[in-house]
Amino acid sequence: MRLSDARRDYYRKLAKDHGYRSRSAYKLEQLNNSYRILRSSYKVIDFGCAPGGWLQVILKEVGSSGKVVGVDIQDIEPISGAIILRNDIEDPTITDSILRLLNSKADVVLSDLAPNVSGIWDIDHARQISLTRNAFTITQKVLKKSGSAIFKAFEGELLNELKLDLKNSFHEVIVSKPRASRQESSELYLVCLQFTG
């Protein structure tokens, strides 16, 4: 068994043992341990929330006084404490829906969006960056000043331009690859701190 497969199996078993819906919950847990962006009472949006592993981590961190909105195009089993919006990231009404549900702007926006992978790398990379850009466009309207965001991105030729655009809206943009990500995977996370508004 390759090391990456062993790691994947390790996190899958851990998720099952701890009641998380997905092994990817550990990616968010590790990112949050490093950058402390989730805090008690925060209002948080999670784009691409299915099957709900990230929502479980967020709820644990923000507590009962926080507010959590998950957005996904897929149906997702309800999670106590989270508001789940079944919607397409490209729907122009999504911004108003989120602001209405939160009743104010968010402290944190998270995006773990990925396309259905075709196996043709250029297409998958372009689709994924397009999804992330849609999430970023909405973020600019729903994130409060000085707020934080984390965006999944696939490595490739469109990544640098995305990073530059993020740097125009945040004081700091850090590229991070949590241990729970497969090492051979091209996914990474852009941790964006101090939204300039």
pLDDT digits (tens, 9 = 90+) for 58-69: 999 999 999 999
Q: Which of 105, 144, 152, 167 is catalytic?
A: 152
State the average pLDDT over residues 121-130.
93
What percent of the chain clears pLDDT 70, i.e. is strictly above it?
A: 89
- Which of 174, 176, 172, 88 shows the shortest CA–CA distance to 138? 88
Residue 122, CA distances (Å) to 119, 142, 187 in order = 9, 30, 14
Highest mean pLDDT among 16-30, 59-73, 169-183: 59-73
152 is catalytic: yes
State the average pLDDT over residues 75-90.
94
Residue 20 has pLDDT above 70, yes or no: no
What percent of the chain clears pLDDT 90, i.e. is strictly above it?
A: 77
Residue 19 has pLDDT above 80, yes or no: no
Per-residue pLDDT at 197: 85
Per-residue pLDDT at 1: 43
**What's the mean per-residue pLDDT of the chain?**
90
Residue 18, CA distances (Å) to 46, 54, 92, 93, 196 in order = 21, 13, 37, 36, 37
Residue 14 C-beta-side C-alpha neighbours within 13 Å = 14
Residue 136 has pLDDT above 90, yes or no: yes
pLDDT digits (tens, 9 = 90+) for 155-172: 999 999 999 999 999 999
Residue 9 has pLDDT above 50, yes or no: yes
Cα–Cα distance measured from residue 30 to residue 44, given in angstroms and rounded to the nearest whole number: 17
pLDDT band per the 50, 70, 90 thresholds, residue 3 = low
User: What's the CA dihedral at 149, 137, 62, 30 to 10 degrees?
Assistant: -30
pLDDT digits (tens, 9 = 90+) for 100-110: 999 999 999 99
Higher pLDDT, 48 or 15: 48
- Which of 159, 53, 55 shows the shortest CA–CA distance to 108? 55
Residue 31 has pLDDT above 70, yes or no: yes
Q: Which long-range contacts (C-beta less than 8 Å, at least 24 apart) are formed by 171-175?
A: 171/196, 174/35
pTM of the predicted model as reported, rounded to 2 decimal places: 0.91
What structural domains does the chain harbor?
3-195 (3.40.50.150)
